[in-house]
Amino acid sequence: MTATHKRPRVVIIGAGFGGLWATRAMARFPVDVVLIDRSNYHTFLPMLYQVAAAELEPEDIAYPIRHLLRKLTNVQFILGEVKNVDLATQIVTTDTLPIPYDFLILAIGSTPNFFDVPGAAENALPLRSLEEGIALRNHILSCFERAVRDAGTDQREAQLTFSIVGGGPTGVEFSGALIELIRGPLLKDYSNLDFRLVRVVLLEALDSLMLGLPRSMQDYALLRLQKMGVEVYLKAKVRQVTPVAVHLTNGLVIPTETVVWTAGMRGDPLAESWEFPTAHGGRVEVLPTLQVPGHPNVYVIGDLAYMEVNGHSLPMVAPVAIQQGLAAVENIARQVAEEAPLPFHYRDRGMMAVIGRNAAVAHLFGRWAFTGFLAWVMWLALHLIRLIGFRNRLVVLINWAWDYLFYDRVVRLIIPRQRWRENQNG
């Protein structure tokens, strides 16, 4: 790609919530937009745990990027892994070609934060991408297959104990979905297995689940999970993860071959390697306008951006990424029109999490609190509306209805078959 172009070229890296929304907004302006992502699809991460819990197919929550950009004539999509961003020469290098930019929006998101816990990076299973969701589903189903095969051996306790580290919304949602998978369809599938051995354990380092929610909603989530059969340990800090156990700082050792890590996220370390000024969990500390200090034509948005409001960092959630994407676009348009960029203001609409069948929490606009069936319906409706693509919405609705009516899950395949071979020996 050559550097000679007449209109300003805006390069956007990452087609997640921040980058995709920024691309669609930027296309309204007289600029050339280049969107780069290492995948050719956008993933709806809030429903990723349902892929891992065999509730939805991976393609139900993903959408081809090119389809979304079809009508945007000034947008070019490049499928490629960005290897370097040179802030001095203003060149982005992918695995195939160098791309010069006039303005850059960096939106590459986050990676799991293992907080230097020994063995966690090597042995815990993250849940951050579609591939990881599929790998986790395969792993869980493989554990049941091996437990049946290895009946009578000492390994079974660890094979059938599923630990989730982190009692935030993802940890709570996944624990609930997993226990419903186990107590529902898997109980019927593995009728000769002793299900008294099967445990779902949720470990949270703090003294409550889902920090940020009112205490009554945290207690509701805790009681509901316990009622469903999840063993919840609060003030349970992980000291070490091995292939066969999780060790807590209070001395407790839980034999388990499955440790799902939802305890925290950090900025993608790539930004640091490209010499972006990082702080606070590898995130890039941006100016109130979302610009990178010293680089007025470079914006960082979404999970990768670190910004404080009233002494608290903005959360790593989709609405922040989307609103920042739109704000960065407005600021670039202002710069092109030779006007000063404006500071970003986040409009927090609240937090929601589903716990299980007919059970959810919704805390809206910091004022209204809903739990139970009403919150559950609100969660389903909102996520269905937000999901991209009519076909995806329809398929998801059918899957949910099937699951709700027949207590069954249609997606219980270990694919590709290679995965089963890899998982056979733990």
Q: Name the residue nearer to ligand FAD (CB basis): 83 or 239.
A: 83
Region of 107-115, 230-238, 342-350, 400-408 interacting with ligand FAD (CB under 6 A)? 107-115
Q: Is 282 in the site for ligand FAD (CB under 6 A)?
A: no
The set of residues, in sequence order, having a beta carbon less than 8 Å from that of 234 and lying 6+ positions away, is 167, 204, 206, 207, 208, 209, 222
Pick from 85, 134, 292, 316 the residue near ligand FAD by CB under 6 A: 316
Residue showing tokens 């999490």 = 353
Minimum CB separation of residue 178 from ligand FAD in Å reads 13
- Is the peptide bond preceding residue 341 cis, with omega within 30 degrees of 0? no
Strands (E), 38-100: 41-43, 62-64, 75-79, 82-86, 91-94, 98-100
Region of 36-44, 113-121, 291-299, 396-404 interacting with ligand FAD (CB under 6 A)? 36-44
Minimum CB separation of residue 68 from ligand FAD in Å reads 12
> From CA 238, how far away is CA 307, in angstroms rounded?
28
**Burial class of residue 148 in the structure, from the number of CB atoms within 10 Å of its CB (0-12 exposed, 13-18 middle, 19+ buried):** middle
Give the dihedral sign, CA 19/22/28/31. Answer: negative
Minimum CB separation of residue 412 from ligand FAD in Å reads 20
Question: For ligand FAD, how many residues bind (rule: CB under 6 A)?
Answer: 34
The set of residues, in sequence order, having a beta carbon less than 8 Å from that of 105 and lying 6+ positions away, is 10, 11, 12, 13, 18, 19, 22, 26, 299, 300, 301, 325, 328, 329, 332
Minimum CB separation of residue 127 from ligand FAD in Å reads 5
Minimum CB separation of residue 164 from ligand FAD in Å reads 12
Q: Are 98 and 92 in contact (CB under 8 A)?
A: yes
Element (H, E) at 254: strand 253-255
Pick from 9, 26, 34, 49 the residue near ligand FAD by CB under 6 A: 49
Q: Is 38 in the site for ligand FAD (CB under 6 A)?
A: yes
Q: Which residues are catalytic?
A: 173
Region of 1-9, 45-53, 143-151, 328-336 interacting with ligand FAD (CB under 6 A)? 45-53
As beta bridge partners, residue 191 has none
> From CA 148, how far away is CA 289, in angstroms rounded?
57
**Burial class of residue 331 in the structure, from the number of CB atoms within 10 Å of its CB (0-12 exposed, 13-18 middle, 19+ buried):** buried
Q: Is 166 in the site for ligand FAD (CB under 6 A)?
A: no
Q: Name the residue nearer to ligand FAD (CB basis): 148 or 317.
A: 317
Q: Is 303 in the site for ligand FAD (CB under 6 A)?
A: yes
Q: Name the residue nearer to ligand FAD (CB basis): 1 or 317.
A: 317
Q: Name the residue nearer to ligand FAD (CB basis): 63 or 144.
A: 63
Q: Is 386 in the site for ligand FAD (CB under 6 A)?
A: no
Q: Is 302 in the site for ligand FAD (CB under 6 A)?
A: yes
Minimum CB separation of residue 285 from ligand FAD in Å reads 15
Q: Is 39 in the site for ligand FAD (CB under 6 A)?
A: yes
> From CA 228, how far away is CA 226, in angstroms rounded?
5
Minimum CB separation of residue 48 from ligand FAD in Å reads 4
> From CA 356, how far away is CA 373, in angstroms rounded?
10
The set of residues, in sequence order, having a beta carbon less than 8 Å from that of 13 and lying 6+ positions away, is 19, 36, 37, 82, 85, 92, 104, 105, 106, 107, 108
384-387-390-396 Cα dihedral, nearest 10 degrees: -60
Q: Is 127 in the site for ligand FAD (CB under 6 A)?
A: yes
Q: Name the residue nearer to ligand FAD (CB basis): 11 or 318.
A: 318
Q: Name the residue nearer to ligand FAD (CB basis): 39 or 358.
A: 39
Q: Name the residue nearer to ligand FAD (CB basis): 158 or 329.
A: 329
Note the residues at the interface with ligand FAD (CB under 6 A).
Answer: 13-19, 36-39, 45-46, 48-49, 81-82, 107-109, 127-128, 169-170, 268, 270, 302-304, 316-319, 321
